[in-house]
Amino acid sequence: MSLSETARALWAKSDRGREQGAWHPLIAHLLDVAACAEAILEREPPKTLELYAHDLSLEPQQAKAWVCALAGLHDIGKASPAFQQKWPEGKERLWATGLTWSSDPTPPPHDLSHSIISEVVLPELLEARGWKYRAAQNVAAAVGEHHGFRATRGDLDKATTREKGNANWDEVRRELFEAVLEVLGVGEAPKVKLYGGAAFERLAGLTSFADWIGSSLDFHPLGDDLAGYYREAKARAAQKLDGIGWFQRKTLMPEPQSLEEVFAYLGSPEAPFRARPLQAAIERLLEGVDCPALLLVEAPMGEGKTEAAFYAHLRLQAANGHRGMYVALPTQATGNLMFERAKAFLDRWGQSRKLDLQLLHGASELVEAYQEIRVRPNSPEEREEGVEAQVWFSHRKRGLLSEYAVGTVDQALLGILPTKHQFVRLWGLGNRVVVLDEVHAYDTYTSGLIEMLVRWLRALDSSVVLMSATLPRAKRENLLRAFGAEKITEDKPYPRITRVVKDNPMPVVETFEACKQLTLQLRALPLDLEAIAEQALEQARRGGCVACIVNTVQRAQELYRALAGNSDGVEVYLFHARYPLEERLNREQLVLAKFGKQGQRPKRAILVATQVVEQSLDLDFDVMFTDLAPVDLVLQRAGRLHRHARSAEERHSHTEPVLWVAGLECEGVPDFGTAERIYERYVLLRSWLALRNRTRIGLPGDIDRLVQEVYSDMPQGPSEAWKRALEEAQARMEKRDARDQDEAFYAPFGDPDETGWLEPRDFTRLPDDEPNPDDDPSLLKTRKGPPSATVVLLHRVGGQLCLDAGGKEGVSLASQLELAQARRIFARSVKLSRYELVQNNLEALEAHRKAHDLPTKPWSETPLLAHAHPVVLEGGCAVLGELVLELHPELGVVYGSAL
């Protein structure tokens, strides 16, 4: 069809940042974005288009035409006085065609967003073409939120005639609408009455992704042939997708292979890889599965869960046409290690094509293994095949669009919270295999969010692999129900794998024998650090590697001091989270080099650490000391005892694994000190009762028994004092749990099985300018706990600010820095949550900035550092209100009092 002069005069983009006088017609931009949506879908697995077809109850090709047309129409609201007023040259050109307005719309910067107008005007246009009223409202809201957030009822009420225009504007919008539909060849309208849940998020996510690509295309002459323009736009969209590394999503293993064939690269001719019982059980459970599925793997440490998850991805991808995999971990450190394992796994499949693998967390810029594979679009280092990390996907809103990624669970949880462009994250997680490791490691609030995430993943036709060594029964059942299980009656013994297939409420449970049976000698110690130090040194002097895991950084620092001063030939190492990032990463590598599977084990050594070694780090010790913690975490720590087969000579005299528990030896009802700031006193008391009379723990046989004992109904205490202590602690815990459960229930933007969230309403928007969620997950509501602040520790040397105490490396506090310079500064940052620092909106840090005459917003335009606070050290110390902060070369950041 031909367009009127007026319709052609409407502009979408002006010459800002481009050749002077250049502009892009609105119809061209609408067709650009539609073409990008089609180019994206054509590179998706066929299953993705089938999902869109199911959403609309149409055949796939007709569904594709409608979905792409709707994505293109996202900006039809630009055909309005509110938008067309914003570029004087464009306004004059439009007025010359006779399309004007008599009442001026609200001028910038308070003008009404064109996305809101799109949401208001699109339903009427769709209804005229045969759409049902409610579905038309839904799809208009989905494409209208492409700027990041849903419009509220108040927003929509502002779209008056003054903003959107009179009947003449209605007519020109109808002309654009019909032109897009004709070019796309949409055919008859779908008859669906509601477009909600997963369908809504699928359309919203694709629209924003296509708009990002379409808005980056060069201006191109429109001409008279709109269909010809669309074909050229598709070709340009394909080139752009090639440039950012968005290639055809293909099944890695189209023909079945056994697990042993897949992981043969992990073996050698002398010791070929052999599937472990857990892995063989996964193979059996995946036979015949042709729908999205959830696998809940409960097994002790060291049983091969990671390889089992990777293999499950291959089989589920082949069966369901999934697009890739995301592996979510509790911490950045565990994510770093999993990234290297994922890359080694993908290297096997990347020999014939390119595979994109991203590392998604706030400190990924400092991870060498990730930086080594990063490439920029069309750069010389690009290869024809292999595993790489395209820079385009490294932006935190785009990371989950990558085919493969490893990161923290926070990145996935942001997809279900009302954060900007959350629907893009959900689109990236849809039709995918999502692996959630260490699912026991989260508190009540975050566990509630994870359950809602699993509900969304099920709705989005994703498969899920959940992994845990120690999972309480209630948490297990909640996770299974989130994927649709209803009849959770079979409770086979631990270790076990539970499979739930979508739309089948009956779970299947299979148990297996753990590879390694280990009996730990359990011994009690008082909580006193002197007692721990004395016994740890005695054990280390006999030879071997000793771990001391304590519950707080301060205890770790004090214990290290006590040990280092009396080591007498014993090497002593310290590892915790309160080091500058660079130092923390270096210490992590040192710990792995000394105590890892392939490490050069010292003859006599002690590692003092906090919870940073509790999960995923493949460490192996001869003897372990641990503060009493919740029993599941004690067992996690104990999983680092005699983890690998070693000779008696290598173990020195420690032929049997011994676990010393500090705090288990006490009189009366114990006081756990600072541990009660971290863990629930009730769970600590229950853990004490479960362990107090034991002299041995059998692994894995006692794992599930102990966990269920601690997290089951309350036992009778051994005395009246114990009974009162348990009742009081339980009441406090239940009160907090109820609050956290409520917050987790109300925090997500909506439930895929409900419809209330589809209606326009006022809601809380989590601000987009907060720090990266890994810098402080509590600010973006992915986790609870005290807020933290990222500080960069600077040294004042001879009147200059430097990154090092020797004054060799100066630092700039400019708002905008080059990436290399920003990385060096970020490497000296550390995350602190001390109350004196974070109280009253970071008042102490603000006072420190003023006292040292630092800029108001240093690094504000440098994304990596935008929310970091400079702290000036003089003589290695800084005074911040009542707090003295010292950067010690061995201890890390040490707190003291200024009073």
DSSP per residue, 529-541? HHHHHHHHHHHHH
Judged by average pLDDT, the poorest of 314-318, 332-336, 826-830 is: 332-336
Task: Kindly state the average pLDDT of the residues 184-193.
Answer: 97
Average pLDDT of the chain to the nearest whole number: 91
Supply the angle between the helices 26-43 and 60-72 in degrees, to the nearest 10: 140
Task: Kindly state the average pLDDT of the residues 179-192.
Answer: 97
Judged by average pLDDT, the poorest of 61-70, 571-580, 758-767 is: 758-767
Same domain as 65, residue 209: yes
Top-confidence residue, 626 or 440: 626
Task: With a cut of 70, say whether residue 767 has pLDDT above it.
Answer: no
What does each C-alpha distance from 608 to 526, 558, 833 come to in angstroms? Answer: 17, 10, 21
User: Residue 301 is encoded by which pair of tokens?
Assistant: 């440490």
Top-confidence residue, 1 or 247: 247
Task: Kindly state the average pLDDT of the residues 620-643.
Answer: 94
Q: CB–CB of 97/103 below 8 Å?
A: no
Same domain as 795, residue 706: no
Measured distance CA(28)–CA(22) in Å, rounded: 13
Number of domains the chain is built from: 4
Last residue of a domain, one of 452, 479, 511: 511
Q: CB–CB of 531/559 below 8 Å?
A: no
Judged by average pLDDT, the poorest of 59-73, 113-127, 703-717 is: 703-717
Last residue of a domain, one of 470, 496, 511: 511
Q: Where are the beta strands (DSSP E) in 735-803?
A: 789-797, 800-802
Same domain as 216, residue 301: no
Does residue 756 belong to any structural domain of this protein? no
Does residue 777 belong to any structural domain of this protein? no
Task: Kindly state the average pLDDT of the residues 771-787.
Answer: 65
Task: Kindly state the average pLDDT of the residues 282-302.
Answer: 94
pLDDT bucket at 770, cuts 50 / 70 / 90: very low
Task: With a cut of 70, say whether residue 762 has pLDDT above it.
Answer: no
Task: With a cut of 80, say whether residue 771 has pLDDT above it.
Answer: no
Nearest to 352 by CA among 253, 433, 434, 262: 253
- Residue 227 pLDDT: 96
Cis status, amide bond into 700, omega within 30 of 0: yes
pLDDT bucket at 322, cuts 50 / 70 / 90: very high
Q: CB–CB of 108/212 below 8 Å?
A: no
Same domain as 887, residue 866: yes
Does residue 625 belong to any structural domain of this protein? yes
Q: How many CB atoms lie within 10 A of CB 214?
A: 28
pTM of structure: 0.92
User: Residue 368 is encoded by which pair of tokens?
Assistant: 């060498």
Q: CB–CB of 334/617 below 8 Å?
A: yes
Residue 806 backbone dihedrals phi, psi, to 5 degrees: -80, -5
pLDDT bucket at 22, cuts 50 / 70 / 90: confident
Last residue of a domain, one of 488, 511, 534: 511
Task: Looking at 752-872, list the stretches that DSSP marks H as alpha helix, in order from N- to C-terminal side.
Answer: 819-826, 835-851
Q: What is the pLDDT of residues 465-490, one digit of tens each?
A: 999 988 999 999 999 999 999 988 76
Task: Kindly state the average pLDDT of the residues 762-781.
Answer: 56
Task: Kindly state the average pLDDT of the residues 262-272.
Answer: 89
Q: What is the pLDDT of residues 844-895, one digit of tens each?
A: 899 999 999 999 889 988 888 988 999 999 989 999 988 999 999 999 999 9
Top-confidence residue, 152 or 770: 152
- Residue 268 pLDDT: 86
Does residue 739 belong to any structural domain of this protein? no
Q: What is the pLDDT of residues 121-130, one digit of tens each?
A: 999 999 999 9
- Residue 765 pLDDT: 66
- Residue 17 pLDDT: 47
Q: CB–CB of 485/507 below 8 Å?
A: yes
| CA atoms within 13 A of residue 781's CA, in its CB half-sphere | 21
Q: What is the pLDDT of residues 552-586, one digit of tens each?
A: 999 999 999 999 888 788 999 999 999 999 999 89
Same domain as 348, residue 227: no
Handedness of CA 348, 354, 359, 360 (dihedral sign): negative
Same domain as 616, residue 531: yes
pLDDT bucket at 517, cuts 50 / 70 / 90: confident
Q: CB–CB of 816/861 below 8 Å?
A: yes
Residue 894 backbone dihedrals phi, psi, to 5 degrees: -115, 135
User: Residue 182 is encoded by which pair of tokens?
Assistant: 């004709």
- Residue 566 pLDDT: 81
Measured distance CA(117)–CA(164) in Å, rounded: 6
pLDDT bucket at 769, cuts 50 / 70 / 90: very low
pLDDT bucket at 754, cuts 50 / 70 / 90: very high
- Residue 730 pLDDT: 93
Same domain as 347, residue 490: yes
Task: Kindly state the average pLDDT of the residues 706-733.
Answer: 88
Same domain as 424, residue 368: yes
Does residue 720 belong to any structural domain of this protein? no
Quick one: which H or E segment has residue 447? helix 444-459
Nearest to 122 by CA among 106, 101, 138, 111: 138
Does residue 746 belong to any structural domain of this protein? no
Does residue 781 belong to any structural domain of this protein? no
Task: With a cut of 70, say whether residue 787 has pLDDT above it.
Answer: yes
pLDDT bucket at 773, cuts 50 / 70 / 90: very low
- Residue 777 pLDDT: 53
DSSP character at residue 752: T
Same domain as 237, residue 191: yes
Which residues, in sequence order, are bridge partners of residue 464? 294, 434
Q: Which amino acid is at 8?
A: R
Task: With a cut of 70, say whether residue 19 has pLDDT above it.
Answer: no
Same domain as 463, residue 546: no
Cis status, amide bond into 81, omega within 30 of 0: no
Residue 490 backbone dihedrals phi, psi, to 5 degrees: -80, 125
What does each C-alpha distance from 142 to 207, 209, 426, 461 come to in angstroms? Answer: 8, 13, 13, 19
Does residue 148 belong to any structural domain of this protein? yes
Q: CB–CB of 849/837 below 8 Å?
A: no
Same domain as 48, residue 185: yes
> In CATH, what number is assigned to the domain containing residue 204?
1.10.3210.30
Q: Output b/e per residue, 690-718; b: 16+ Cβ within 10 A.
A: bbeeeeebebbbbbbebbbbbbeeeeebe
Task: Kindly state the average pLDDT of the residues 255-267.
Answer: 92
Task: With a cut of 80, say whether residue 15 has pLDDT above it.
Answer: no
Task: With a cut of 90, say whether residue 464 has pLDDT above it.
Answer: yes
> In CATH, what number is assigned to the domain containing residue 660?
3.40.50.300
Same domain as 550, residue 422: no
Task: Kindly state the average pLDDT of the residues 242-257.
Answer: 93
Top-confidence residue, 601 or 316: 316
Top-confidence residue, 701 or 481: 481
Q: CB–CB of 360/399 below 8 Å?
A: yes
Domain that holds residue 349: 277-511
pLDDT bucket at 414, cuts 50 / 70 / 90: very high
Q: Percent of the chain scored above 90 by pLDDT? A: 75
Measured distance CA(173)–CA(191) in Å, rounded: 23
Which residues, in sequence order, are bridge partners of residue 606? 546, 572
Task: Kindly state the average pLDDT of the residues 429-437.
Answer: 97
Quick one: which H or E segment has residue 7? helix 5-9
